[in-house]
């Protein structure tokens, strides 16, 4: 395990240099990795593990759209694609990649196949951290580990196919076998992580829920909407408002941030833009910091978990979710966005 300083803080990392793929394959050579769930994270992680040469099988409910997707992706029924119970029985490492709601529902089934020495793997700390609400309490004689890629399963797969890695966090909640660190490190390298940084199940879910509701999804959509609507209310055309709000950020400026940091992006913009950004960014920080503080309290108090579980358990949840997503899709900003994306040179 490597040690690296981030500012004044030293962190524990697992890198490909110290833990190469060859070592990961040696660690897991006698393991059967059963990926349970083929929705958001399942396909990317399972396919990356398979392409990296690990013994991996998929467990999914038969006669479902995700079963059909797995077949389309090359998984063969009876060979490396099974019903959930059979996959859990065969697996020595069970990657529990169903949705949080799905994990709650299926937990009694999965738990019944967690025999001594197996490993239970998560990509989200939700189920274990909020065990009072979820009922997910693993038996004491299995390893309980976590690899949380910092992005969607789609991004994980795309970057793997491009020869790149998506950074991920790792955590060990329970080391029953004494092999948990090697197992989790090997799995992180196997699914295609760029490097692994250490966390805990609780810290992972707290940061993840805050991030999803914050800068990754909720806050960015709110800021997009506020600026777009302000420009439209002041007579700017839909195309101008969208390009100034979304297109320039995502297509021009964010790649510069990813390449070499925010200061690098600033340095590649006009002095007028730099002056304005430097004058205004702290105002936005001060305006939104109270919202983020409130958000973190809601997450750490388990209130957000309660809201999610209650919403997901309702029979009309999917219909209501689809209605909310349709409202977003049909807003002027994102209808304009669909047209603008179609005008990009690569699409013509």
pLDDT at position 5: 80
In the chain, the percentage of residues whose pLDDT exceeds 70 is: 100
**Residue 230 falls inside a structural domain:** yes
Verify that 227 and 178 share a domain, yes or no: no
Whether 346 shows a pLDDT value over 90: the answer reads: no
Domain-ending residue, one of 199, 231, 262: 199
Instruction: Express each pLDDT in 179-223 by its tens digit.
Output: 999 999 999 999 999 899 999 999 999 999 999 999 999 999 999
Query: Based on the structure, what is the number of domains in the chain?
Result: 2
**Residue 208 falls inside a structural domain:** no
Verify that 189 and 281 share a domain, yes or no: no
pLDDT category of residue 97 using cuts at 50, 70 and 90? very high
Verify that 193 and 234 share a domain, yes or no: no
Where in the sequence numbering do the catalytic residues fall? 124
* Buried b or exposed e, range 234-259, using 16+ CB within 10 angstroms: eebebeebbbebbbebeeebeebeee
The predicted model gives 263-285 an average pLDDT of 95
Verify that 302 and 243 share a domain, yes or no: yes
Instruction: Express each pLDDT in 110-137 by its tens digit.
Output: 999 999 999 999 999 999 999 999 999 9
Structure tokens at 165: 């890695």
167: left (phi over 0), alpha (psi -120 to 50) or beta: beta
Verify that 269 and 166 share a domain, yes or no: no
**Residue 206 falls inside a structural domain:** no
Domain-ending residue, one of 169, 199, 229: 199
* pTM, entire model: 0.90
Verify that 243 and 134 share a domain, yes or no: no
Verify that 149 and 221 share a domain, yes or no: no
pLDDT at position 94: 98
**Residue 207 falls inside a structural domain:** no
Whether 290 shows a pLDDT value over 90: the answer reads: yes
Verify that 129 and 266 share a domain, yes or no: no
Name the E strands within 119-212.
119-122, 143-149, 168-174, 195-198
Q: What CATH number is attached to the domain comprising 161?
A: 3.40.50.720
Q: Is 82 helix (H, G, I), strand (E, B) or coil?
A: strand
Instruction: Express each pLDDT in 160-178 by its tens digit.
Output: 999 999 999 999 999 999 9
Query: In which domain, by residue range, is 177 found?
Result: 2-199
């Amino acid at each position: 395990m490597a040690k690296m300083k981030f500012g004044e803080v030293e962190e524990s990392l697992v890198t490909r240099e110290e833990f190469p793929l060859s070592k990961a394959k040696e660690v897991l050579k006698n393991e059967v990795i059963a990926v349970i769930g083929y929705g958001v994270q399942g396909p990317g992680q399972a396919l990356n593990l398979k392409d990296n040469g690990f013994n991996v099988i998929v467990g999914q409910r038969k006669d479902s759209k995700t079963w059909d997707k797995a077949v389309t992706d090359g998984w063969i029924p009876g060979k490396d694609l099974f019903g959930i119970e059979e996959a859990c029985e065969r697996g020595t490492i069970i990657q529990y990649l169903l949705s949080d709601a799905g994990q709650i529902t299926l937990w009694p089934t999965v738990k019944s196949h967690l025999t001594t020495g197996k490993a239970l793997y998560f990509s989200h700390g939700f189920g274990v951290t909020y065990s009072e609400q979820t009922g997910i309490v693993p038996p004491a004689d299995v390893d309980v580990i976590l690899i949380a890629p910092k992005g969607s399963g789609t991004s994980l797969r795309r970057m793997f196919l491009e020869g790149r890695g998506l950074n991920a966090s790792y955590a060990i909640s329970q080391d029953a076998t004494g092999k948990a660190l090697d197992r989790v490190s090997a799995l992180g390298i196997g699914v295609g992580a760029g490097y692994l940084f250490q966390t805990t199940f609780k810290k992972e879910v707290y940061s993840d829920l805050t991030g999803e509701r914050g800068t990754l999804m909720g806050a960015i959509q709110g800021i997009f909407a506020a600026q777009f609507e302000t420009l439209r209310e002041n007579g700017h055309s839909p195309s101008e408002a969208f390009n100034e709000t979304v297109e320039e950020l995502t297509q021009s400026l964010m790649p510069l941030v990813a390449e070499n940091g925010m200061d690098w992006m600033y340095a590649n913009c006009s002095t007028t833009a730099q002056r304005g950004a430097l004058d205004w960014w702290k105002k936005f920080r001060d305006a939104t910091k109270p919202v983020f503080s409130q958000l973190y309290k809601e997450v750490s108090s388990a209130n957000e978990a309660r809201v999610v579980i209650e919403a997901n358990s309702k029979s009309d949840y999917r219909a209501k979710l689809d209605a909310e997503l349709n409202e977003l899709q049909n807003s002027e900003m994102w209808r304009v966005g669909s047209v603008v994306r179609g005008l990009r040179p690569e699409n013509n």
